[in-house]
Structure 1
Amino acid sequence: MDSFDNLSASEKAEASELQKMIAIEQQKAQFQAQVHSFTDVCWDKCVDSPGSKLDYRTETCLQNCVERFIDTTLTITNRFTQMVQKGTH
Structure 2
Amino acid sequence: MADKFDEATQKELATFLEREQAQARLQTSIHNFTSMCWDKCITGTPSTSFSRGETGCLENCVGRFLDTSLFMVKQIEEKREQTQF
- TM-score bucket (shorter structure): 0.7 to 0.9
User: Which residues of 2 match residues 33-52 of structure 1 at below 5 A?
Assistant: 33-48=28-43, 49-52=45-48
User: Which residues of 2 match residues 43-62 of structure 1 at below 5 A?
Assistant: 43-48=38-43, 49-62=45-58
- Tell me which stretches of 4 or more aligned residues in structure 1 moved more than 2 Å: 83-89
Segments of structure 1 that go 5 or more residues without pairing to the other structure are: none
Post-superposition Cα deviations, 1:32-75, rounded to whole Å, max 9, x if no partner, equal 11111110111111112201221111111101101111101111
Question: Aligned pair 1:67/2:63, yes or no?
Answer: yes
Identity percentage over the alignment?
31
- Return the letter of the residue paired with 2:48: S
TM-score w.r.t. the length of structure 2 is 0.79
**What residue in structure 1 maps to residue 27 of structure 2?**
32
Segments of structure 2 that go 5 or more residues without pairing to the other structure are: none
1:16 is aligned, of 11, 31, 39, to: 11
**What residue in structure 2 maps to residue 83 of structure 1?**
79
Larger Rg: 1
Give the deviation of 1:16 after TM superposition. Answer: 2.2
Give the deviation of 1:87 after TM superposition. Answer: 4.3
TM-score w.r.t. the length of structure 1 is 0.76
Q: In structure 2, how many angstroms separate the alpha carbons of the residues matched to 1:14 and 1:76? A: 34
- Return the letter of the residue paired with 1:34: S
